[in-house]
Amino acid sequence: MGMLEENEYVRIMQKLYGKSLILEDPSDFHPVLHFYLLDALAHIDFTLCMLAYNYMSPRNIMNMEYMRWRLDEERVGERAHFADFINWLKEEHHEKFEELPMLWTGIYDRDDPASYRGFRIVLNPDDRRPIPAEYLSMFIDEFFDRRFLQQLYRESSLARLFDEFVRSRTSA
């Protein structure tokens, strides 16, 4: 048996690739929330691939190129307000903040040590062990949760809060 048959991260990757947005209409998602959904999924995928495949596998090389491009895209237009929006939700709309996927609240909350390091998800920078597969599985479940996906639509309360937040920042 090779590494891939034994690797628990491959099982989680199969779970990710088994998911679908077929019951949703992503063209009606709020553009910034949609970007950060795909961004989170890309970081989950990247983390899984780094743990499942050889570092220099074609899969990982292609992922690194794509993730570098996404870094610049985060700073385009209203996307640049996303991290501040998450922290504002924590202060002003805590119930909405608590409903967000744990990966978003962990990565963008300024008080949480979690971050993207070299595009990988790192929950605690002092812990050198790879992120447990169960966490990645839970992140996937949260992003594909029906209630969360409903919050991505342009007319959802979360999308309206984001638009109000951006307006308050850009009109001041």
* pLDDT for the residue 146: 95
Q: Check whether 72 has a pLDDT greater than 90.
A: no
Query: What average pLDDT does the segment 10-37 reach?
Result: 95
120-129 pLDDT tens trace: 898 998 988 8
d(CA 47, CA 52): 9
Q: 36 is written with which tokens?
A: 């950060």
User: Which residues on neighbouring strands pair with residue 115, listed in sequence order?
Assistant: 122
Query: What average pLDDT does the segment 104-125 reach?
Result: 92
* DSSP per-residue letters across 71-89: HHHTTSGGGGGHHHHHHHH
* pLDDT for the residue 119: 87
142-159 pLDDT tens trace: 999 999 999 999 999 999
* pLDDT for the residue 6: 58
d(CA 92, CA 71): 28
- pLDDT band per the 50, 70, 90 thresholds, residue 172: low
d(CA 96, CA 10): 32
- The CA-based diameter of the chain, rounded to the nearest angstrom, is 61
- Could you state, in order of their start, the residue ranges of all structural domains in the chain? 3-15+28-170
Q: 29 is written with which tokens?
A: 């998602």
d(CA 29, CA 24): 9
Query: What average pLDDT does the segment 87-96 reach?
Result: 96
Entry pTM: 0.89
33-70 pLDDT tens trace: 999 999 999 999 999 999 988 888 898 888 888 888 88
H or E stretch at 117: strand 115-117
Q: Distances in Å between the alpha carbon of 145 and those of 12, 24, 101, 148?
A: 16, 12, 9, 5
* pLDDT for the residue 2: 43
